[in-house]
Amino acid sequence: MRESTTKGPVLNPALDPRDRLRMERAFVLPRARFLLGLPIAAAVLLWSFVGAEFDFAKLGEGAVNMGGFLGQMFPPTWDKLGTIVTLLIETLQMAIVGTVLGTVLSLIVAFGASSNIAPKWLYYPTRWLMNIIRSLPDLVFALMFVSAVGLGPFAGILAMTIGSIGSIGKIFAEAMEAVDRGPVTAMQAVGASKRQTVQYGILPQSSPMLVSYTLLLFEGNVRGATILGMVGAGGIGLELTTAMRMYDYGHLSAIVICIIVLVTVIDQASAVIRRKIT
């Protein structure tokens, strides 16, 4: 076959014979980097197990005590059901307010953290801010706000709101970055402003993901509110901690069952909403 001497794109370049041979084999040997990476990954995992004192034998021995603990929790005592329901409602209210405020703030921050929306001078500082917030546990925020505004659900709401910026803000930004470029190009092509491009090109495309992550945040906040309560930030958490300290296992069991029911109901409702929006 005659070789082309003209310049220009090669329309039908040949496949490297070594690649062809490799692709035709029924069984392909793993690449060197995989063979090298596998023992490294295994070593890191083993190192972590040892460092974290993970011990299957101890788990087996402790299973008996765990069974005893669970046995003490039954039967649950329902004489304080009214208190539990009241505190669960407070927990739910905290989660609702925390989620709404957290979502709004996260969305605002996410605009600054999306590379396809924000200029570089805004993008990087916003990402750093989110990294700092994400590296702090919600309990730290709860303690900080308890000392600032006193004991009660308000401190919990503030902790949830700020905490969600780090986690959900990042996910919002990545959902907005992942949208199809085509409609965004079309918006720019019709002469739309930045705000209009975001409003009509980016948000409608990312809205299913944004709603889905908001529901996830809400579910997380309901569970999180029970933990925040332990440091005095309102909700059912304080009652849960008190029952544990007082060895009131029947009451503790009733609280846990109520939390499970609430979280399951929210999870099912979220699933229905997700199905509707996607």
Partner 1 sequence: MTNSIMPDETRQPAATSTPTRSAAAEPAAPTTEEMLLHLPLASVKDLTVSYGNGPVVLDGVDLDLYPGEMVALLGSSGSGKSTLMKSLTGFAPIDSGSVRAVGCDMRNLRRGQLREVRASVGQVFQNFNLVGRLSVLTNVLTGALHQAGPINLLGGFTSADRKRALELLERVGIAHKAKDEARSLSGGQQQRVAIARALMQRPKLILADEPVASLDPKMAHSVLELLHSIAREDGIPVLVSLHVLPLALQHSDRIVGLRHGRVLVSAPTDQLAAEDLADIYASDEEESDVDA
**Which residues of the chain form contacts with partner 1 (CB under 8 A)?**
2, 4-9, 11, 182-183, 185-193, 196, 199-201, 204-205, 207-208
| DSSP labels, the chain | -PPP-S-S--SSPPPPHHHHHHHH-SS-PPPHHHHHHHHHHHHHHHHHHHHTT--HHHHHHHHHHHHHHHHHT-S---TTHHHHHHHHHHHHHHHHHHHHHHHHHHHHHHHHT-TTTS-HHHHHHHHHHHHHHHHS-HHHHHHHHHHHH-SSHHHHHHHHHHHHHHHHHHHHHHHHHTS-HHHHHHHHHTT--HHHHIIIIIHHHHHHHHHHHHHHHHHHHHHHHHHHGGGTSSSTHHHHHHHHHTT-HHHHHHHHHHHHHHHHHHHHHHHHHHHHH-
- Minimum Å gap between C-beta 199 and partner 1 is 7
- Minimum Å gap between C-beta 192 and partner 1 is 4
Do residues 112 and 126 touch, judged by C-beta distance below 8 A? yes
- Minimum Å gap between C-beta 250 and partner 1 is 50
- Minimum Å gap between C-beta 109 and partner 1 is 21
Closer CB to partner 1, residue 131 or residue 193? 193
Closer CB to partner 1, residue 180 or residue 267? 180
Closer CB to partner 1, residue 152 or residue 183? 183
Closer CB to partner 1, residue 8 or residue 68? 8
Closer CB to partner 1, residue 104 or residue 140? 104
Closer CB to partner 1, residue 9 or residue 68? 9
- Minimum Å gap between C-beta 178 and partner 1 is 14
- Minimum Å gap between C-beta 9 and partner 1 is 6
